[in-house]
């Protein structure tokens, strides 16, 4: 009987627990997500040396300094630490959405509509308008214009926020498109929010600078705990008045923290070491992980595999169906090489090692051998 993905992954090795902060750690063989990246020893040292003042009283300088520096880095007036990407999106949207009836337009594949427990409807009393990109890759101005509700008709639910996600599924919405949508939103008095959980990847892929993207938006949420490896934390940026109100919303939902320095000390190291100190991620680790993702994709293709989506940052989408594999079977095969895998998406975060890629290569050989034997040739989305 085919085991579940959970069973297969529980059989895959985790590192012997010598020290939880060691590098490489348990994420080295885990392709499921970049949320899996673990904090390292320099983050631990930063935590040991942090300030321990109260951030609800705005007294913790490690936290307020980080907020100030991310605000500057992103070209916004102010920033606010939040506990997670979900909290960042929800606090930001709740701050924008003050007068129902109101709707939020987003990509149908987006995190806010699929993976935030329906927060926009319950916390902000807003309707979601989730649309498919007509080009199959990213939303365009035309898509947005077609679906945004701009009407004085009392039957309509006016669009108050356009919420974009970039990168989405590892793919890049080009800066020019973002600029056009932003100009349209401003003309129509619609707020722009960015789910920039992976904006660091976008910048490291040379798609534009951090402020070039973030200043197209009234608010943006940026995560420290995904590709950057911090244990906890995200941050939202915006105008001073926006952040002042967000602080109140954050408090309301229990996100005001006391000795927040233990979070922000690690987050600062995550940005400096892993995104890098240069404005485009120079000196960081993300560019290297993108190169490794391209290598993984090339390895799959050279063995006869097909990709389900283009590789533009750190995600590789294998068309496992075309290779004759279900998600469960792929996870099970991964476990034979002590790899953790979920579905056809491989997230090649910076903690993935060369050894993990070699193991993956052996698995690919087996999978594509099966394809040759069966003559499988299922559907393929191209790219």
Ligand X SMILES: Cc1ncc(COP(=O)(O)O)c(C=O)c1O
Q: Pairing relation of β-strands 78-82 and 234-238?
A: antiparallel
CB-wise, 111 or 306, nearer to ligand X? Answer: 111
Q: Least Å distance between CB 298 and ligand X?
A: 25
Query: Exactly one of 85, 158, 170, 227 binds ligand X (CB under 6 A); which one?
Result: 85
Distance CA 17, CA 40 (A): 14
Would you call the peptide bond into 375 cis, given omega within 30 degrees of 0 as the criterion? no
Q: Which region, judged by CB under 6 A, interacts with ligand X, from 36-44, 69-77, 84-92, 154-162? A: 84-92
Angle at 173 between CA 169 and CA 174, to 5 degrees: 150
109 binds ligand X (CB under 6 A): no
Question: Contact with ligand X (CB under 6 A): which of 40, 84, 182, 289?
Answer: 84
Among 30, 67, 165, 319, indicate the residue that binds ligand X (CB under 6 A).
Answer: 165
CA pair distance 66, 197, nearest whole angstrom: 17
x-or-dash string of contact with ligand X, 197-226, rule CB under 6 A: x-------------------------x-x-
Residue 344 CA, chain-centre distance (Å), reads 17
Give the CA radius of gyration of the chain. Answer: 21
Task: Tell the burial category of 99 from Cβ atoms under 10 Å away from its Cβ (0-12, 13-18, 19+).
Answer: exposed
- By beta carbon distance, the residue nearest ligand X is 85
Total number of residues shown for the chain: 383
Cα-based angle 96, 97, 98 (whole degrees, multiple of 5): 110
Among 30, 60, 67, 195, binds ligand X (CB under 6 A): 195
- Collapse the DSSP code of 376 into the 3-class scheme (helix H, G, I; strand E, B; otherwise coil) and give the result: coil
Nearer to ligand X, 197 or 364 (CB): 197
Within 309-368, the residues that bind ligand X by CB under 6 A are none
Using alpha carbons only, give the angle 51, 57, 58 rounded to the nearest 5 degrees: 60
Convert residues 10-49 into a mask of x (bound to ligand X by CB under 6 A) and - (unbound). Answer: -------------------------x--------------
When the beta carbons of 51 and 124 are compared against ligand X, the nearer one is 124
DSSP letters spanning 354-365: HHHHHHHHHHHH
Residue among 35 and 259 whose Cβ is closer to ligand X: 35
Residue 191 CB, shortest distance to ligand X, in Å, is 18
Residues that bind ligand X (CB under 6 A): 35, 84-86, 111, 165, 195, 197, 223, 225, 234
């Amino acid at each position: 009987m085919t085991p579940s993905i959970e069973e297969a992954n529980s059989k895959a090795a985790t590192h012997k627990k010598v020290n939880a902060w060691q590098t490489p750690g348990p994420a080295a063989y885990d392709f499921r997500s970049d949320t899996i990246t673990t904090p390292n020893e320099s983050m631990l040292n930063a935590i040991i040396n942090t300030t321990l003042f109260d951030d609800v009283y705005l007294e913790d300088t490690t936290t307020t300094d980080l907020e100030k520096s991310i605000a500057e880095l992103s070209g916004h007036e102010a920033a606010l630490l939040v506990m997670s990407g979900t909290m960042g999106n929800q606090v930001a949207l709740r701050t924008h959405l003050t007068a129902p009836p109101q709707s939020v337009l987003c990509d149908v594949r987006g995190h806010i509509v699929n993976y935030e427990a329906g927060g926009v409807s319950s916390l902000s009393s807003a309707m979601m308008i989730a649309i498919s990109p007509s080009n199959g890759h990213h939303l365009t101005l035309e898509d947005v214009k077609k679906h945004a509700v701009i009407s004085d008709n009392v039957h309509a639910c006016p669009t108050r926020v356009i919420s974009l996600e970039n990168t989405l599924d590892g793919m890049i919405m080009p800066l020019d498109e973002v600029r056009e949508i932003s100009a349209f939103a401003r003309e129509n008095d619609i707020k722009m929010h960015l789910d920039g959980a992976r904006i660091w990847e976008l910048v490291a892929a040379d798609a534009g600078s951090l402020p070039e993207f973030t200043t197209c938006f009234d608010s943006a949420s940026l995560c420290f705990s995904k590709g950057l490896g911090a244990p906890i934390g995200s941050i939202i940026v915006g105008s001073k008045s926006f952040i002042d109100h967000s602080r109140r919303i954050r408090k309301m939902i229990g996100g005001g923290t006391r000795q927040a320095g233990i979070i922000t000390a690690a987050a600062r190291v995550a940005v400096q070491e892993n995104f890098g100190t240069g404005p485009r991620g120079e000196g960081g680790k993300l560019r290297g992980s993108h190169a490794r993702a391209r290598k993984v994709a090339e390895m799959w293709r050279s063995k006869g595999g097909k990709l389900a989506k283009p590789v533009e940052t750190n995600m590789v989408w294998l068309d496992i169906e075309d290779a004759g594999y279900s998600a469960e079977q792929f996870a099970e095969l991964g476990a034979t090489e002590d790899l953790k895998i979920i579905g056809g998406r491989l997230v090649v975060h910076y903690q993935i090692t060369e050894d993990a890629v070699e193991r993956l290569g052996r698995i690919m050989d087996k999978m594509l051998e099966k394809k040759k034997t069966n003559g499988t040739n299922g559907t393929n989305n191209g790219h």
